[in-house]
C-alpha cells in the first residue's frame, strides 16, 4: 500500500482510491487529497498509508458536511502541531559513547494534552511516529477522555543492552524530552521497547529535573510510584473485550473459538490471558524470529511459562516452546498460516499483507481485531472486508491501553489509587462505549458492521467539532 502510494506520487493521474466504493466525485476527492499529502510529506510511506486508510472512509461524510470543507479540516488534521527532534548521547558499559535520534510528534491537542507512547526501536523515524501520532489522535477521541494525540521515541535498540545502559539512555533521553512535556501539555507512556523498566528510568529523571513530583506527566508507571492497576494488561484485555462485543453484535461469542495471536509483548500476552478467560483456545504467539504453535491451546501452566520467558527472562519464544508442554517453535514463519476463527495481530505495523489476508480467508477466519497499530496493509483490510470478515480497526480495538492511561492520569490528579476491579470495570465500560460509537456511525454491508468506517467517522466528527470551535488556529 505505502509503496504504491509513493510510486503513484510521481504519476500525473494517481488513483489512490481505485476500487473504493462510492461515486466518482468521492474517488476524485480522495485522489486529489492524497496527492497533496504525499507532496507535502515525501517519502513518508507509513504516514501516507495511515492517512489513506482514514480518508478513504471519511471522505463521503466530509463531503456531506460543508462546515468541515469550508474550514479545510482534513488538510489541517493531517499536519501535526509540531515535531521535535534531538540528539540522545549515552555511554555503553565499555565507556564508548553513542548518539541516537529522539523525537516527539505532538500531533493534535484539540481534545486535551498530547497523549501517546514512546517507542525505542531501530525502525523509528519521522514517518512512523507521524502515522502513530495521527492514529493516536482519533483513538484517544474514541475513549471520550480529555486527551489529544502524540507519539515519540528514538531509534535506539534496547535488545541486548544491560539495565545500566538502558538507564543511561533513558536518563539522557529525558534530559531533552522534559522541556516538551507536562501533565497539562504532553503525557508520554510506553510502547514497543519501552516497558516498566524504561518508564521508571524516564520518570525518575523527569522528577529530578523538574524538582517536584507530578505523577501525571508519564503513564505506565509502577504501582509503588503512582501507576494504575492493570495498565500492563489494558491493551490486551481491551482488544479482546472489543472483539467479544463485535462477535456478540453478530450473534457469536469468543467461547470455543480458535484464536491466533501475533506478538509476545504486553499486548499479546494479556490478549492470550483474557481470551483464555472467555473460553477461547489460543494457539499461537510470535516474536521477531518466528512463532510458537500450541495446537491444543494455552493452559494456565503454558501461559505462566510464556510470562516468565518474555517478562522476566526476556528470552526468545524458542525457549518458551522448549519448556511449555505441547508447544513447537517455527523459525522464520508467520502465525497467520495457522487456521483460526479469530485473529488478533498484536506485533507491529504491516505484518499482514494482501496475500496473507487471502490465506487467512481461505483458512476460515471470521473475525480480526488489530491489537497493534496498523498491522494490516490497506489491501489486506479490503480482502478481509470483501470476504465478510468482521474487522476491528486499531484505533477502536486497541484503545484499552490509552484508555487505562487516562484512568491513571485521573487517579494521579485525585491523589487516589483505585482497586483492580474498579479499573477493570472502567476499562470495560470504555471499550463497550467505543463499540457503541462505531456501530452508531457504521454502515452495514451483507449483514456485517463496517467498524473501520464507524471508528473513523465517529472520531473524525469529535475532533473536527473541537477544531471548529477554536477557529483557525
CA distance 321 to 413: 43
CB–CB of 46/374 below 8 Å?
yes
Instruction: Select which of 15, 130, 151, 221 is catalytic.
Output: 151
Return the HEC string of 354-387. HHHHHHHHHCCCCEEECCCCCCECHHHHHHHHHC
CB–CB of 290/329 below 8 Å?
yes
Determine whether the annotation assigns residue 155 to a binding site: no
The single residue listed with the C-alpha cell 529522539 is 102
Determine whether the annotation assigns residue 349 to a binding site: no
Determine whether the annotation assigns residue 232 to a binding site: no
Determine whether the annotation assigns residue 235 to a binding site: yes
**Cell for 172?**
539522557
Return the HEC string of 182-197. ECCCEEEECECCECHH
CA distance 185 to 375: 29
Residue 248 a catalytic site member: no
Rounded to 10 degrees, what is the CA torsion of 141, 147, 152, 153?
Answer: -110
**Cell for 226?**
503512582
CA distance 34 to 48: 8
CA nearest to 395, candidates 449, 460, 350: 460
CA distance 126 to 295: 40
Sheet holding 149-154, edge to edge: 82-91, 97-108, 149-154, 114-120, 186-189
* Helix H or strand E encompassing 117: strand 114-120
Work out the angle at residue 108's Cα, subtended by the Cα atoms of residues 120 and 207, and round it to the nearest 5 degrees. 50
Determine whether the annotation assigns residue 136 to a binding site: yes
| Residue 421, Cβ density class (10 Å: 0-12 exposed, 13-18 middle, ≥19 buried) | exposed
Work out the angle at residue 390's Cα, subtended by the Cα atoms of residues 140 and 439, and round it to the nearest 5 degrees. 50
* Neighbour count for residue 80 (Cβ, 10 Å): 21
Residue 285: partners with Cβ closer than 8 Å, 6 or more residues away: 261, 262, 263, 264, 268, 269, 272, 291, 292, 306, 317, 320, 335
- 3 state SS of 20: coil
Binding-site annotation: residue ranges for NAD(+): 235, 266
Binding site: what residues are annotated? 115, 136, 139, 190, 235, 266, 405
Q: Residues annotated in the binding site for substrate, as ranges?
A: 115, 136, 139, 190, 405
Annotated catalytic residues are 151
Amino acid at each position: 500500500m505505502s509503496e504504491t502510494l509513493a510510486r503513484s506520487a510521481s504519476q500525473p493521474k494517481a488513483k489512490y482510491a481505485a476500487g473504493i466504493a462510492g461515486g466518482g466525485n468521492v474517488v476524485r476527492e480522495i485522489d486529489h487529497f492524497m496527492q497533496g499529502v504525499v507532496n507535502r510529506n515525501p517519502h513518508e510511506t507509513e504516514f501516507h498509508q495511515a492517512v489513506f486508510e482514514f480518508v478513504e472512509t471519511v471522505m463521503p461524510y466530509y463531503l456531506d458536511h460543508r462546515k468541515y470543507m469550508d474550514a479545510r479540516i482534513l488538510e489541517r488534521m493531517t499536519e501535526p502541531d509540531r515535531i521535535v527532534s534531538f540528539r540522545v548521547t549515552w555511554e555503553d558499559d565499555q565507556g564508548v559513547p553513542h548518539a541516537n535520534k529522539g523525537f516527539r510528534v505532538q500531533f493534535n491537542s484539540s481534545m486535551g494534552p498530547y497523549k501517546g507512547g514512546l517507542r525505542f526501536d531501530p525502525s523509528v523515524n519521522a514517518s512512523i511516529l507521524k502515522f502513530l501520532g495521527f492514529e493516536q489522535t482519533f483513538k484517544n477521541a474514541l475513549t471520550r477522555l480529555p486527551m489529544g494525540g502524540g507519539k515519540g521515541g528514538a531509534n535506539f535498540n534496547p535488545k541486548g543492552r544491560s539495565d545500566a545502559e538502558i538507564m543511561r539512555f533513558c536518563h539522557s533521553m529525558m534530559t531533552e524530552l522534559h522541556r516538551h512535556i507536562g501533565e497539562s501539555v504532553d503525557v508520554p507512556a510506553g510502547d514497543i521497547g519501552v516497558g516498566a523498566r524504561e518508564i521508571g528510568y524516564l520518570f525518575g529523571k523527569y522528577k529530578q529535573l523538574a524538582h517536584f513530583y507530578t505523577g501525571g506527566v508519564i503513564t505506565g508507571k509502577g504501582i509503588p510510584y503512582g501507576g494504575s492497576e492493570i495498565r500492563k494488561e489494558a491493551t490486551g484485555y481491551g482488544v479482546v473485550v472489543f472483539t467479544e462485543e463485535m462477535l456478540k453484535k453478530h450473534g457469536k461469542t469468543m467461547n470455543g473459538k480458535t484464536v491466533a495471536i501475533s506478538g509476545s509483548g504486553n499486548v499479546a500476552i494479556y490478549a492470550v490471558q483474557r481470551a483464555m478467560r472467555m473460553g477461547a483456545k489460543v494457539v499461537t504467539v510470535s516474536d521477531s524470529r518466528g512463532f510458537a504453535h500450541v495446537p491444543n491451546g494455552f493452559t494456565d501452566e503454558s501461559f505462566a511459562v510464556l510470562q516468565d520467558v518474555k517478562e522476566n527472562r526476556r528470552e526468545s519464544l524458542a525457549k518458551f516452546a522448549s519448556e511449555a508442554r505441547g508447544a513447537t517453535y517455527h523459525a522464520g514463519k508467520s502465525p497467520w498460516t495457522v487456521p483460526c476463527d479469530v485473529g488478533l495481530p498484536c506485533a507491529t505495523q504491516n505484518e499482514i499483507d494482501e496475500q496473507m489476508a487471502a490465506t487467512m480467508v481461505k483458512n476460515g477466519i471470521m473475525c480480526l481485531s488489530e491489537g497493534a497499530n496498523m498491522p494490516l496493509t490497506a489491501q489486506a483490510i479490503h480482502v478481509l472486508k470483501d470476504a465478510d470478515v468482521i474487522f476491528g480497526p486499531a484505533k477502536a480495538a486497541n484503545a484499552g491501553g490509552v484508555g487505562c492511561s487516562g484512568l491513571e492520569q485521573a487517579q494521579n490528579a485525585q491523589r487516589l489509587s483505585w482497586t483492580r476491579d474498579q479499573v477493570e470495570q472502567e476499562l470495560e465500560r470504555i471499550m463497550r462505549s467505543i463499540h457503541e460509537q462505531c456501530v452508531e456511525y457504521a454502515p452495514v454491508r451483507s449483514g456485517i458492521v463496517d467498524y473501520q468506517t464507524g471508528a473513523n467517522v465517529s472520531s473524525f466528527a469529535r475532533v473536527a467539532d473541537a477544531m471548529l470551535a477554536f477557529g483557525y488556529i
